[in-house]
């Protein structure tokens, strides 16, 4: 009789273990699952085309020299004893860039801190500083993915500046935000 009770207990325990295992397997099989979608957007790289150079026009430094500035909207001003000439042969203008990229995206603008202009055929220089742009530090492309950037700056001209044409180049860097 003792053996029989032990056998019944053993069978009961085995059945309990079997039921627990079956319940775990059933719950794992009845678990929930869900799928997720994956998307990405490839954005067109921005292209920049220079459509107009930064030109300070012609000037006479005078006895003290000074500075000449062309604003991003193309307005030219001078300080000190510089006389700005208005001859059509020496026009002044802001640099202008045409932008093409992804519609409605914002971008940041990086301009150099200074640029050295060198006398053509010589070694004399003029320093271009305080480059400014419109839009200023950031901008947005239109709904068609286009835009315009204009850049101006200031040059310092000494009273003894050698006469002639001074030139140089600068790079504008635009990055999507």
Query: Residue 103 has what pLDDT?
Result: 95
3-state secondary structure of 108: strand
pTM equals: 0.78
Cα 74 from Cα 84, distance rounded (Å): 14
Are residues 65 and 152 both part of a single domain?
yes
Number of domains in the chain: 2
Q: Does one domain contain both 23 and 73?
A: no
Work out whether strand 146-157 and strand 125-134 pair parallel, antiparallel, or are unpaired.
Answer: antiparallel
Predicted local confidence at residue 158, as pLDDT: 96
3-state secondary structure 8-76: HHHHHHHHHHHHHHHHHHHHHHCCCCCCCCCCCCCCCCCEEEEEECCEECCEECCCCCEEEEECCCCCE
Look at residue 40 and tell me if it is in a domain.
no
Q: 67 and 19 share a domain?
A: no
pLDDT for 83 equals: 97
Residue of 76, 88, 75, 79 whose CA lies nearest to 61? 79
> Has residue 39 been placed in a domain?
no
85 with 8, same domain: the answer is: no
Q: Both 57 and 90 in a single domain?
A: yes
Dist CA 55 CA 167 (whole Å): 9
Domain of residue 18: give its range: 1-31
Per-residue pLDDT 10s for the chain (177 aa) are: 666 666 566 566 666 676 665 556 655 567 889 999 999 999 989 999 999 999 999 999 999 999 999 999 999 999 999 999 998 999 999 999 999 999 999 999 999 999 999 999 999 999 999 999 999 999 999 999 999 999 999 999 999 999 999 999 999 999 999
């Amino acid at each position: 009789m003792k053996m029989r009770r032990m056998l019944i207990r053993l069978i009961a325990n085995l059945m309990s273990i079997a039921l627990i295992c079956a319940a775990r397997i059933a719950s794992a099989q009845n678990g929930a699952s869900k799928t997720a979608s994956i998307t990405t957007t490839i954005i067109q790289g921005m292209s920049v085309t220079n459509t107009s150079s930064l030109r300070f026009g012609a000037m006479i430094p005078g006895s003290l020299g000074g500075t000449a500035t062309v604003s991003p909207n193309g307005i030219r001003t001078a300080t000190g004893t510089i006389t700005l000439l208005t001859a059509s042969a020496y026009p002044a203008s802001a640099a202008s860039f045409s932008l093409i990229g992804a519609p409605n995206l914002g971008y940041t603008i990086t301009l150099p801190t200074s640029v050295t202009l060198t006398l053509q055929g010589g070694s004399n220089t003029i320093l271009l500083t305080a480059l400014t742009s419109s839009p200023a530090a950031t901008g947005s492309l239109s709904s068609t993915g286009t835009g315009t950037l204009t850049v101006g700056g200031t040059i310092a001209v000494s009273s003894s500046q050698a006469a002639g044409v001074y030139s140089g180049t600068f790079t504008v860097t635009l990055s999507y935000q």
